Amino acid sequence: MSDRSGPGVAPATSASAARTADGGEPALSLVGVTRVFGGSRAVDAVDLEIREGEFFTIVGPSGSGKSTLLRMLAGLDRPSAGDILLRGRRVNDVPANARPTAMVFQSLALFDHMSVGDNIAFALKMRGVARLERMERARALLDVVHLPAAYIDKPVTQCSGGERQRVALARALASDPEILFFDEPLSAIDNRLRKLLQVEIKELHRRTGKTFVYITHALEEAMVMSDRVALMRAGRIVQVAPPLEIYDRPTSRFVAEFMGEVNVWRAVREAGAVTLPELGLAFPSETIPAPEGFLVARPEKLALLREGGAAPATIAGTIVDEFVLGSRKQIHLRPDGAGESARERPTVFGEIPADAAAPGPGARVRLGLAFADCRFVTE
């Protein structure tokens, strides 16, 4: 194996050398990585493999440990325990500037006293690259990030928010890193520009073929941009999967609720059936792998039944609200009997196309649900 991991990178022990499922060596591996601050485990014994050339996104609530994990991956912080492997080589003690990686920060961290070109070429200057050569590289990168060549001498303070974001991307690419880290780079940008830059970053990933490791709070970014998503909670990774799999097949109630609007009902296994006590429903001839747990169903899995329509299970009730969400409309239904105990009979979420004719709030309707459209999870 050729050593592409940069100066000062130590070999991994044979016990910790990782392989991907297809037998190839991962770009990054974490083996029992832990980071302790004042007795608190911000990252707790994380095992993870990030594949060569993939767009890998880490999501989680505030305080889940995702930014701490990214800082350790980038060499900006050291683990308290465990190993970080870069293509099979241990890099725990290798500083960021000695790794073949680059970071795009949330704050962008551009130098306001410099031009666009000097910002892009700064890392090359620190490496002693001659000015002519580094400016040629900066000009080439302006084209990569869709900025005019004339911006090479433009003061970075005169750039718009989106332009500054592109300058930060170009600067990260200037030293031709093999892995790029992104720490919530689009969080301070308005929604329209954010959507545009999501597409551009994904396209940049496709064109460069580099490994991208991305942190975000925005679930839409994770769903749109990623090859795989890792969800963190309390310092641990609770599920890693492609975006649609983690959305459709969550492994826990926490994952189901974090990844978008979802119906959650307590489910009980009984003789020859699965019952949902909160709704007074039963699915005959169905079973679940535990005596009790939860069935979760995304709103789009509940169909609005017309007169005479049928479904394996029917939830009757009154529409209390509706919201148009682009191409679809979400219905909030209060099931029959909810007035007796709102806790026992929670609001049910269903969806229909936004242009479909539907009764408004106050109308009585029926929603149909199939057991196959539900996912069984535990706490």
Q: 147 to each of 102, 170, 200, how far by Cα in Å?
A: 20, 10, 12
Residue 318 near residue 269 (C-beta atoms within 8 A) = no
pLDDT tens, 113-131?
999 999 999 988 888 889 9
Say what the alpha-carbon torsion angle 258, 354, 242, 53 is, to the nearest 10 degrees: -120
Say what the alpha-carbon torsion angle 216, 222, 228, 234 is, to the nearest 10 degrees: 40
- CA–CA separation, 69 vs 231, rounded Å? 12
Q: What is the strand order of the sheet 313-325 is part of?
A: 303-305, 364-369, 313-325, 328-335, 348-353
* Closest C-alpha to 169, from 224, 120, 226, 106: 120
Torsional class of 164: left (φ above 0), alpha (ψ -120 to 50), beta (otherwise): alpha
CA torsion sign for 144, 148, 152, 154 is negative
Which pLDDT does position 338 carry in this prediction? 54
Residue ranges and CATH numbers for the domains of the chain are: 10-100+177-255 (3.40.50.300), 261-377 (2.40.50.100)
Which pLDDT does position 243 carry in this prediction? 95
pTM: 0.85
Phi first, then psi: what are they for 57, rounded to 5°?
-115, 135
Neighbouring-strand partners of residue 240: 230
- CA–CA separation, 124 vs 145, rounded Å? 18
The single-letter code of the amino acid at 31 is: V
The single-letter code of the amino acid at 120 is: I
Phi first, then psi: what are they for 308, rounded to 5°?
85, -5
pLDDT tens, 259-295?
988 999 999 999 889 999 988 899 999 999 999 999 9
- CA–CA separation, 58 vs 144, rounded Å? 25
Phi first, then psi: what are they for 110, rounded to 5°?
-80, 155
Residues 6+ apart with CB under 8 A from 290: 269, 376, 378
Which pLDDT does position 345 carry in this prediction? 54
Which pLDDT does position 24 carry in this prediction? 58
The angle formed by the CA atoms of residues 59, 103 and 154, to the nearest 5 degrees, is 125
- CA–CA separation, 57 vs 339, rounded Å? 42
Which portions of the chain are predicted below pLDDT 70?
1-24, 337-346, 357-358
